[in-house]
Structure 1
Amino acid sequence: MLCGLLPPSEGKVSVSGFDLRTSPASARSRIGYVSQKFSLYTNLSVFQNLLFFSRAYDLSGEKQKKRIASVIEEYELGSVLDSDAGRIPLGFQKRLAIACATLHDPDILFLDEPTSGMDPQSRREFWIRMIRFSRRNTTLLITTHYLEEAEYCDRLVIISRGKILIEGSPQEIKKPFQTVDNPTPTIEDAFIGLIEQSKEEN
């Protein structure tokens, strides 16, 4: 729903001032989305994928060339441009998927389990890029099961069994779980504590 792929079941969702129900095309033009399995054309080369997605976002001419050149440099894709997207390593596929999703400089970028399957070094590189990306005033909305990664985010929503347990900054969420024995709880500590509280309430 937030990506504009399905109409809102109730309430109102707007992106950059555009209502997803009444102006879905305008709203979607300001959104970037990277699914967990990412939507790449594996039989096309890396460069052909960038061309395809840039055209899908109505980029053309000099602007298209500049944006493609920019993401190639930013995501270090130069060495694999002529390789089929389905044959490059997973880390490169993730980089390509994000590059394709950000060609049009979206206001909001949705990332679904973006570091799933990555080795520790690739995960660290991903977060360095995302922190850099967020400094451009782009909102990142990330789903992850790696709770230590949630520490990078400004605000968190912890969900269990479809129910929101808590939302707030990492510090706000961890504070109630500070104890004498554990003065500096992690997000994982908070998550486990919230799950236990939820079970007791039910």
Structure 2
Amino acid sequence: MTDQPPAAIDVQGLNKSFGDKHVVRDVSIRVDEGRITGFLGPNGAGKTTTLRLLCGLLTPDSGEGEVLGLDFRTETDAIKRQTGYMTQRFSLYEDMTIEENLAFIARVYGLGDRRQRVEQALKRLGLYDRRKQLASALSGGWKQRLALAAATLHGPKLLLLDEPTAGVDPKARREFWDEIHALAAAGLTVLVSTHYMDEAERCHDIGYILNGRLIARGTAAEIIANSGLVTFNGQGPDIGRVAAKLEHQPGVLSASAFGAAVHVSGVDRAALDTAIEPYRHSPYEWNEVSPSLEDVFIQLMGREADDRYAA
């Protein structure tokens, strides 16, 4: 029996309601130390609420477990001191400079060697030459760097990121993820919510939440392998019109456009072959491909909708 690595997060039966809306439903999640876990799901799925419950910003209706070895219900103050939290919306002071914002955060945490810590953060995230610039004058990518510097200034053991790359350009996203991997390599545990499939694939493992329930958990490869999906890639003129026709055929769970191609997926290979057969001839070309994460998540969304309808 192999020893299981220590967990930064190990929580079971997490629930939270606001009025008659059950936002988080019996979520159990474990995140090992030093891992980057992607937390995916559509808007309103419960991602942000779960993050806030884990770091003590919200009180759960029920649930038990530990975050950083501390009871996540009764030791919230200690958890907050060891956690960095970066919100989706930029929440620092727009009328202060980059340096002033970080100096303020250092005072809030009561950090020693504040000047040295701020200078190190500025240099690590490439902010030093802009340190006198007002936060209001920064682009989305630079605001993102500042927010990350503020969230990690106190040397947390756990970093929670709520859709941190929304609205920034691809170059800034790539640089952000390079920094996240560098932090994880140094021992930081990261739980990051995102809408981007390419970002999910950069995580060590993934959790997919829908309608408040955690319905898939594992590495990207494990989630794809466990889906049981069969996927065909089709190409040809007006393939989008073909996709629209295939979408409603028996056995087809999804028919989604990928640029000039279409992915047609289902769990019944024979039914898929039957659906595609009328379009096998020229000018169309078909070949079987490995399902993408997006294919799998479309399947999961459809299955969850069917389960709710049946209930």
- Scaled by the length of structure 1, the TM-score of the pair is 0.92
Provide Cα deviations, 1:67-90, integer angstroms capped at 9, x if missing partner: 212211111001211111111111
In 2: Cα distance, 1:20 partner to 1:195 partner? 30
2:188 corresponds to which residue?
A: 138
Q: Which residue of structure 2 aligns with residue 190 of structure 1? A: 296
How many angstroms does 1:2 deviate by?
1.2
Question: Is structure 2 residue 182 aligned with structure 1 residue 158?
Answer: no
**Residues 163/180 of structure 1: CA separation in 2 closer, same or farther (3 Å cut):** closer
Q: Secondary structure at the match of 1:92?
A: helix
Match of 2:230 in 1: 179
Aligned to 1:32: 84
Confirm whether residue 57 of structure 1 aligns to residue 109 of structure 2.
yes
Q: Is the counterpart of residue 200 in structure 1 residue 303 in structure 2?
A: no
**Amino acid in structure 1 at the alignment position of 2:290:** T
134, 154, 165: which one pairs with 1:104? 154
Matched residues in 2 for 1:20 and 1:178: separation?
A: 37
Aligned length: 200
Give the CA deviation at 1:23: 2.2
Find the aligned partners of 1:114 and 1:152 in 2 and give their Cα distance: 14
Distance 1:140 1:99 in 2: 14
1:12 counterpart residue number: 64
Q: Which has the higher helix share?
A: 1
SS of the aligned residue for 1:106 comes to coil
Q: Aligned residues: percent identity?
A: 36
- Which residue of the partner structure matches residue 114 of structure 1? 164
SS in 1 for 2:191: strand
CA distance in 2, matches of 1:17, 1:180: 42
| SS of equivalent to 1:38 | coil
* Structure 1 spans left out of the alignment, 5+ residues: none
Residues of 2 paired with 1:43 and 1:133: CA distance?
Answer: 29
Q: Greater shift after overlay, 37-46 or 4-13?
A: 4-13
**More displaced stretch, 82-91 vs 64-73:** 64-73
The alpha-carbon distance between structure 1 residues 177 and 189, as it changes in their structure 2 partners (threshold 3 A), is farther
Q: What is the CA–CA distance in structure 1 between the aligned matches of 2:171 and 2:76, rounded to whole Å?
A: 38
User: What CA distance in whole angstroms lies between the structure 2 residues aligned with 1:178 and 1:22?
Assistant: 43
Q: CA 1:103–1:188 in 2, change beyond 3 Å: closer, same or farther? A: same
Show CA shifts across 1:57-104 (max 9, x none): 1202x3x23321221111100121111111111111110001001011
| DSSP 3-state at the match of 1:11 | strand
Q: Distance in 2 between matches of 1:17 and 1:136?
A: 19
Identify, as 1 or 2, the structure richer in strand: 2
Report the TM-score when normalising by structure 2.
0.61
Pair 83,191 (structure 1): closer, same or farther in 2 beyond 3 Å: same
Post-superposition shift, 1:38?
2.6
Q: Distance in 1 between matches of 2:143 and 2:66?
A: 30
Question: What's the CA shift for 1:156?
Answer: 1.1
The CA deviation string for residues 161-193 of structure 1, in whole angstroms up to 9 with x for no partner, is: 222221111111111345373442221111112
Q: Which runs of 5+ in 2 are unaligned?
A: 1-52, 233-287
Let me know the Cα RMSD of the aligned residues: 1.6
1:52–1:13: structure 2 CA closer, same or farther, 3 Å change rule? farther
Cα distance in 2, alignment partners of residues 183 and 54 from structure 1 = 51
User: Equivalent residue of 2:64, what SS?
Assistant: coil
Tell me which of the two structures has the higher relative contact order, counting C-alpha pairs closer than 8 angstroms and 6 or more residues apart.
2
**Deviation (angstroms), 1:143:** 0.7
